[in-house]
Amino acid sequence: MITIKHKGNFIFEAENEKSKITINPKEYSPIELFITGMAGCTAYDIVDFLKDKLSDFELEVEYDRREEYPRIFTKISLTYHIYSDATDEEVMNFVRSSLKKYCSTTNSLKEDIEFKITLIHNGNVLVLNGDKDLNEDDELTQFLMSCGGG
C-alpha cells in the first residue's frame, strides 16, 4: 500500500512499507513521476538481466499527451543506451523480454499508447522502429512495430 499525505502548499509525502518520498509538483510533476516509474521498471529489468556484463546504461524517455482533458499519453518514446559485453542479440532479447513480459507498467500502457523504441548497444543503433530499413521478418522488429512504431 502507498499512502499520500498533503503537507501543505501542494507538497505531498508518499509512503510505502519501505520508505518515504516528497512530491513537489513544482520540481517534479506527478506526470513525470508516472513516466519515471514506467521507465524505471524497464530500466531495472535491463540492468538486472545484464548484471556483470553491463558497463553503462541510460534510458531517455520522451512523451506526448493530448491537449484536451483528460490529458492522457498518446506517444512514449524510449531510447535505450546500453554499453555491455553482451551480444547484440542478447541485448535485443533482454529489451524484448522487459517490454513484452516483465515490465508491468509498459504492459499496462501499450494497448492505448503509441510506443517508439530505439535500442543503441555499444554506440550502434540496432533497432529504430519505423525505419524503412528494418527487417520486417525479425520477431523483435515485429513486436516493436506492433507497439506503434511502424
**Res 142 pLDDT > 70:** no
**Res 149 pLDDT > 80:** no
Cα gap 82→97, rounded to integer Å: 15
* Grid cell digits, residue 139: 520477431
Domain coordinates in residue numbering, the chain: 29-149
Buried b / exposed e along 16-29 (16+ C-beta atoms within 10 A): eeeeeeebeeeeee
pLDDT in tens, 49-75: 999 999 999 999 999 999 999 998 999
Architecture, CATH, for domain 29-149:
2-Layer Sandwich (3.30)
Q: Looking at residues 101-129, what average pLDDT do you find?
A: 84
The pLDDT value recorded for residue 138 is: 54
DSSP H stretches of helix in the chain: 30-50, 88-97, 104-109, 139-144
- When mean pLDDT is compared across 32-41, 87-96, 110-119, the lowest value belongs to 110-119
Q: List the strands of the sheet with 3-8, edge to edge.
A: 3-8, 11-15, 20-23
Q: pTM for the full model?
A: 0.80
**Res 116 pLDDT > 90:** no
Kindly report whether the peptide bond that precedes residue 25 is cis, defined as omega within 30 degrees of 0. Answer: no
Classify strands 54-65 and 11-15 as parallel, antiparallel or unpaired.
unpaired
